Structure 1
Amino acid sequence: MTQIAAPSTWHFEEQGDGPPLLLLHGLGASSFSWRHNLAPLARHFRVIAPDLPPHGRSPASLEADYTLEALAAAVLGFLDHLSIPRAALAGNSLGGGLALLLARDQPERIAALTLLAPAAALTRVPWLFYPLRLPVLGLAAARLLGPWLIPWALRLVYHRRELVTPQVVAGYALPFRDRRRRLALRRLCRQLKILPLGQVELLLQNIRQPATLIWGAQDRILPASQAFWIKDRLPQAEFHLLPQVGHAPQEEAPARVNKIIIDFLTRSLNN
């Protein structure tokens, strides 16, 4: 296996000045998923939203190590590339799981955590992505990624299906016109390993940073029951359960999420 693409080759969006805030998207998404958050947050912070390889417009390799540990190390290298010694993290789903790993392993580098339905309390890979892990069906599913499967997937991710507009579908589907990227995402899915809940408990016990937990009450991908499990084991975390919201709170309720993040980080980073 080879290393993930060098941080100097990653695509990312950046706006604003002030304390650095790194936005980490979920599996199958990209910096596009933060389109409603970048400008409002940039009034208060230096906001950076990378496309985590092999997503978005960052390089996609069919030989790279896409384990969570390798992705977390790559994010740290990305911060080094930007000469950012310490940053706050906001992560959705897979991005939330990466944020937790970084906070545990590099506590001096991570100032605060905003966790939006983080992939932490899983007992299995979400069924939405499970077909990509299978030997034969996975290849077929990878070939169909794009305009065919993405509208269906977004109707599961979002609670309010009227948000699945042609523009949103196009934003998610565009990167997957590249066959190599579709196959690289399949590789990532096949390399994902679910930590036993006992190990997740130990991970959460070792998080010392201030944290806020945001979850959609109607999340069909990672049910809200996982939110309460995490909250019980991350006692310092503030908790926001958003009604009529699914698995992408930053997209479905951007005004509420932006306010939560701004209020939380303004307090946390000034203490």
Structure 2
Amino acid sequence: MRGGRNLPPARRNPPVSVSEKPYWIELIDCQVRQIQGKYRTRIIEAGSGPALFLLHGTGGHAENYARNIAALAKDFHVVAMDFLWHGKSQTEGYDPEVIPSLVDQVVDVMDQLGIASACVEGQSMGGWVAMQLALRHPERVRALVLTTTMGYVPDEGAIPGYVEPDWASNLQSSLEVLRNPSFDNVHTRMARILAKPERLTDEAVMVRQALYQQPALAAVQQRFIAEYLAGANIRRHVITDALARQVRQPTLVYWGDRNRTPPALGQHIANQVQNGSFHCASDTGHWAQFESAPEHNEVVAAFFKAQLQPA
């Protein structure tokens, strides 16, 4: 057309596999909204039936579960939430002890939705929060999935050869991402949690980048990540073997064989809780619910459904 632009031809059948569907194709039947109770919390919600809460890891947001929500919503009322000082939830009121406030936030969202108890999956930091939730409010948790959980300190010598990674070594690069959330910086930060970085989609990076470009979030995240990786306040709330032995809810520990902390830690956690089991996904890193999504969805749904069957 004279005076117009030459546009590339439309691609009618883009070569996208099921696991690579864009987030909002996966989430098209979900509802996104803000819950205002004691805290302001953004949630992604889908499905009906028994309640299932999905708790993301540090620096993340509800879309961390974009490949899982729709699949799990076939059997559950799924609620994926942004933690305080993450995503689109409130940025004010930062508490350097971190974990108690996040536990309280989960209870607050449950109360606002009229949910007395729920199945709970937590990934990374979300697993830490989930364990503390199960210990502090056992009546609110029906069953647990701990996916590549953080916040666990086994007894010295309990796992032969185990040495906790030096998490503080990630601090400067993590702060740089928040100070300069370029696509390349965010990509580098996220790629390190996958077994194969090429599996990280541009969309996943751009969603995280758009959130980190919010000044209030970037500011509070810098305080948060400094505490999370190198602070002493949050360490008051680590899970020890003695505490794990008090977790009575049925618990599945879901791991990746190429997670930075080895499968031996996940197996150990499963052995410590009162009613634990263990699953390790192959060729999978820390972001296991994303990287092995079909396997994760099948295993996690089957586990939760089995726990909800009448005795």
Q: TM-score, normalised by structure 1?
A: 0.88
Shift in alpha-carbon separation, 1:22–1:262, aligned structure 2, 3 A = same
Point out the structure with max Rg over C-alpha: 2
Once residues 128 and 160 of structure 1 are traced to their aligned partners in structure 2, the CA distance between those partners, rounded to angstroms, is 21
List gaps (5 residues or longer) in structure 1.
none
Corresponding residue for 1:214? 254
Contact kept, 8 Å, 1:210 with 1:268, in 2: the verdict is: yes
Contact kept, 8 Å, 2:144 with 2:252, in 1: the verdict is: yes
Corresponding residue for 1:267? 306
> Looking at both structures, which has the greater relative contact order when contacts are Cα pairs under 8 Å and sequence separation is at least 6?
1
List gaps (5 residues or longer) in structure 2.
1-35, 154-163, 229-233
Once residues 281 and 79 of structure 2 are traced to their aligned partners in structure 1, the CA distance between those partners, rounded to angstroms, is 25
Once residues 182 and 275 of structure 2 are traced to their aligned partners in structure 1, the CA distance between those partners, rounded to angstroms, is 40
Amino acid at match of 1:210: P
Contact kept, 8 Å, 1:146 with 1:174, in 2: the verdict is: no
Shift in alpha-carbon separation, 1:6–1:126, aligned structure 2, 3 A = farther
Once residues 128 and 49 of structure 1 are traced to their aligned partners in structure 2, the CA distance between those partners, rounded to angstroms, is 30
RMSD: 2.2
Q: CA deviation at 1:209?
A: 0.2
SS in 2 for 1:157: coil
Q: Could you report, residue by residue, the CA deviation over 1:245-270 in whole angstroms, capped at 9, with x for unpaired residues? A: 00011100111111111111111012
Q: CA deviation at 1:202?
A: 1.8
Shift in alpha-carbon separation, 1:148–1:9, aligned structure 2, 3 A = same
Once residues 223 and 186 of structure 1 are traced to their aligned partners in structure 2, the CA distance between those partners, rounded to angstroms, is 28
Q: How many residues align?
A: 259
Corresponding residue for 1:254? 293
Corresponding residue for 1:65? 95
Q: TM-score, normalised by structure 2?
A: 0.77
Once residues 196 and 7 of structure 1 are traced to their aligned partners in structure 2, the CA distance between those partners, rounded to angstroms, is 22
Corresponding residue for 2:62? 31
Q: CA deviation at 1:132?
A: 7.6
Q: What's the % identity of the aligned pairs? A: 25
Amino acid at match of 2:222: R
Once residues 306 and 166 of structure 2 are traced to their aligned partners in structure 1, the CA distance between those partners, rounded to angstroms, is 35
The runs of 4+ residues in structure 1 deviating greater than 4 Å are 5-8, 122-125
Matched, 1:166 2:202: yes
Once residues 57 and 42 of structure 2 are traced to their aligned partners in structure 1, the CA distance between those partners, rounded to angstroms, is 16
